[in-house]
Amino acid sequence: MCGIIGYVGKQKAAPFILEGLKRLEYRGYDSTGVAILQNGAFSIVKKIGRVANLEKEVAKAPLNGTFGMGHTRWATHGGVTDANAHPHLSSDGKIVLIHNGVIENYGSMKKFLLTKGYTFESETDTEVLCNLIAYHYAKEADSAEENRCLAAVRKALLHAEGTYGIVAMSVDLPGEMVAARKGSPLILGLGDGENIVASDVSAIVARTQSVVYLKDGEIVHLTPKEFRITTLDQESVAPFVDQVTWSVADAEMGTYAHFMEKEIFEQPIALENAMRGRFSEDGSTANFGGLNISAGEFRGIERFTFCACGTALHACMVTEHMIERFARIPVECDYASEFRYRNSPLFRNTLFFVMSQSGETIDTLAALREAKRKGYKVLAVTNVVGSTVAREADGGIYQHVGPEIGVASTKAFTSQLLIGAMLALYIGRMRDLSFSDGVDYVRALKGAPDLVRRALEQAPHIQAIARRYARYADMLFLGRLSLFPIALEGALKLKEISYIHAEGYPAAEMKHGPIALISADCPSVFFAPSGEILNKIISSMQEIKARQGRIIAIITERVELPAGLADEIIVIPECHEAVLPIVASIPVQLLSYYIAVERGCDVDKPRNLAKSVTVE
Ligand code: AGP
């Protein structure tokens, strides 16, 4: 949550920072601000609302300095006001600070600082940290330490409890910047005569592909030509310079109206990228390069636990179905936020998995750390290279789907489903899944991108349905077996971007309570693929119809529903069980998207949400 960017270089900082803020806006969009060091003082402009508002404000008084920082906020401490927006300036005017995270002990810090004469204009924990840095900075006036601002930030952070990704500058030290992280991501971008620090790669790729991923507990001193990383204990850190493999175009909308639309339609290619090079030569199983666990060790696993949040948890639930079905090993799925506090017993020979698109979700990270603390090996499925989850896991699988910018996860979700299905195949082939079943399975997975292309052809039809259903206040999503998690996902997608109340349920469970909601005002989206339990699903549909409930049925090609049972029908291709959840996700993504557009909602930046939830 919150996007931060700092720039020290030779070009005007403000245009680059504003551009970067637009790319980071998906991380939080309550308010934004920029601070530029020019003519021996900080020029600070802050505004509630979107970066576009800030741009208008900045245009009124041009900012020409070449050192500066910007922030886009997702409020934690203090309401959404101009005063609470970042950057914050210390009351002595010396230090400017932007921050992503939560300083938990800011109350006691503030009491102390008030006794020292510091004053406060906002309700934020960040302003308190900023003044604490200024306090140490003032004390450092005669210090022999090489850099006064670095020393002050380090000393302040030694007192800080909580999480932070911060960038600080002193008014006396033009061209110098200090950044540090604990629990909130920070990346350095190394340019030609310029250095950048930002929350994620999207803000940097326009200028450089060379990046350094900072680790928790590290602090960096930057100038336009140099950077030096140390730990809070002043140990030197040798940087590892990585090359980003995606380009600016990957993080741009192109001809689409929204990132979500772009990412929905990108899914065939995203799936191809996620599976590339990951099938065995004999075409009967999957291969993963980075698991860091031998086939023998895998063979000894007797149980899996998967932890994640939101959409990623739904992907875990589908993976549970696939592993239990094709590899016959018990799997447990848990909300990462619950797992971390529940102290649930884990079995011997359990392999722990987390899934996280961003690799920065704090609850998922906490679950990973808790499992590691208990001595378990933890593997991760994640999309963001160099993310904290990727670094802290013992091994894992990258999704390789490029940046996902829309707050509502789409291509990351279907690639997680694909990887889950590939895992089930990999484990299944070590056990009882035969060579020929493996070959069929691989063929089916390889066909997934084309099946998704065909499902996407339904877009105009789904858009027309969306127009008819956009004004309902409630909706149910009902599915069975591997499509129950897709029902949960459909409901989550709809509520997060259109603000329609929606619930996902196992179709047959509906009659144990939710059926009370059914009336002509509460439509149901039913997944009804061909298969052994189709008749049971049809019975559930009849129960809804008998109560005047409208039905949107998502069926596979071979299904014939009784005449008049469904009010709307969306047909998706027949496919292998392992691929069905991927293909069935497409119509609910499109339905949610078009309903949200029809309602005039801000699809890519839904209210109250942020793309990556890095606070508890
Ligand atoms: C998805 O549409 C949501 N925005 C949200 O549920 C998300 O999936 C969740 O916060 C987990 O994010 P992660 O995959 O980055 O960990």
What is residue 347's predicted lDDT score, i.e. its pLDDT?
Answer: 85
Query: Measured between alpha carbons, how far is 165 from 406 in angstroms, rounded to an integer?
Result: 22
Structural domain includes residue 47: yes
pLDDT tens, residue by residue, 417-448: 999 999 999 999 999 999 999 999 999 999 99
Pairing of strands 67-73, 31-38: antiparallel
| Phi, psi for residue 68 in degrees, rounded to 5 | -175, 180
Among protein residues, the one with the nearest Cα to ligand 1's atom 10 is 310
Going by pLDDT thresholds of 50, 70 and 90, the confidence category of residue 61 is confident
Nearest to 530 by CA among 487, 569, 559, 560: 559
Among protein residues, the one with the nearest Cα to ligand 1's atom 5 is 310
- Per the residue annotation, which of 2, 149, 316, 601 is the catalytic one? 2
Residue 538's alpha-carbon distances to 91, 381, 534, 541, in angstroms, are: 68, 36, 6, 5
Instruction: For residue 377, give the CATH number of its domain.
Output: 3.40.50.10490
Contact 7, 69 (CB under 8 A): yes
Query: Ligand 1: which atom is nearest the Cα of residue 308?
Result: 16
Q: Indicate the pTM of the whole model.
A: 0.87
Query: Ligand 1: which atom is nearest the Cα of residue 357?
Result: 14
What is residue 77's predicted lDDT score, i.e. its pLDDT?
Answer: 77
Same domain flag for 321 and 422: yes
Taking the centre of ligand 1 as the mean of its atom positions, its distance from the CA of residue 607, in whole angstroms, is 15
What is residue 149's predicted lDDT score, i.e. its pLDDT?
Answer: 93
- Per the residue annotation, which of 94, 155, 262, 611 is the catalytic one? 611
SS3 11: coil
**Mean pLDDT (whole number) for 168-193:** 94
Taking the centre of ligand 1 as the mean of its atom positions, its distance from the CA of residue 403, in whole angstroms, is 14
Structural domain includes residue 329: yes
Same domain flag for 511 and 588: yes
Structural domain includes residue 611: no
Same domain flag for 124 and 203: yes
Same domain flag for 428 and 525: no
Which amino acid type is present at position 156? A
pLDDT tens, residue by residue, 23-40: 888 777 789 999 999 999
Structural domain includes residue 615: no
Which amino acid type is present at position 567? D
Structural domain includes residue 192: yes
Taking the centre of ligand 1 as the mean of its atom positions, its distance from the CA of residue 409, in whole angstroms, is 6
Which amino acid type is present at position 609? L
SS3 96: strand
What is residue 144's predicted lDDT score, i.e. its pLDDT?
Answer: 57
Same domain flag for 136 and 204: yes
Q: Which domain holds residue 330?
A: 276-446
Q: What does pLDDT average to over the chain?
A: 93
**Mean pLDDT (whole number) for 270-275:** 97
Pairing of strands 568-572, 551-556: parallel
Going by pLDDT thresholds of 50, 70 and 90, the confidence category of residue 343 is confident
What is residue 143's predicted lDDT score, i.e. its pLDDT?
Answer: 66
Q: What is the DSSP letter of 192?
A: S
Same domain flag for 461 and 441: no
What lines the ligand 1 site, CB under 6 Å? 309-312, 356-358, 361, 364, 407-409, 496, 612-613
Same domain flag for 397 and 462: no
Domain boundary pick from 233, 250, 267: 250
Count of the separate structural domains present in the chain: 3
Taking the centre of ligand 1 as the mean of its atom positions, its distance from the CA of residue 446, in whole angstroms, is 26
| Phi, psi for residue 106 in degrees, rounded to 5 | -65, -25
What is residue 465's predicted lDDT score, i.e. its pLDDT?
Answer: 98
Q: Which neighbouring-strand residues pair with 33?
A: 46, 71
What is residue 200's predicted lDDT score, i.e. its pLDDT?
Answer: 87
Among protein residues, the one with the nearest Cα to ligand 1's atom 8 is 311
What is residue 396's predicted lDDT score, i.e. its pLDDT?
Answer: 95
Q: Is 611 known to be catalytic?
A: yes
Taking the centre of ligand 1 as the mean of its atom positions, its distance from the CA of residue 309, in whole angstroms, is 6
Q: Is 605 known to be catalytic?
A: no
SS3 329: coil
Best residue for ligand 1 mutational test, from 307, 361, 616 (most atoms within 8 Å of Cβ): 361
Residue 322 tokens read as 């696939």
Structural domain includes residue 255: no
What H or E segment, with its residue span, contains residue 272?
helix 267-275
Residue 327 tokens read as 């590899």
SS3 447: coil
pLDDT tens, residue by residue, 106-120: 999 999 999 999 999
Instruction: For residue 135, give the CATH number of its domain.
Output: 3.60.20.10
Query: Measured between alpha carbons, how far is 305 from 378 in angstroms, rounded to an integer?
Result: 10
Domain boundary pick from 417, 446, 475: 446
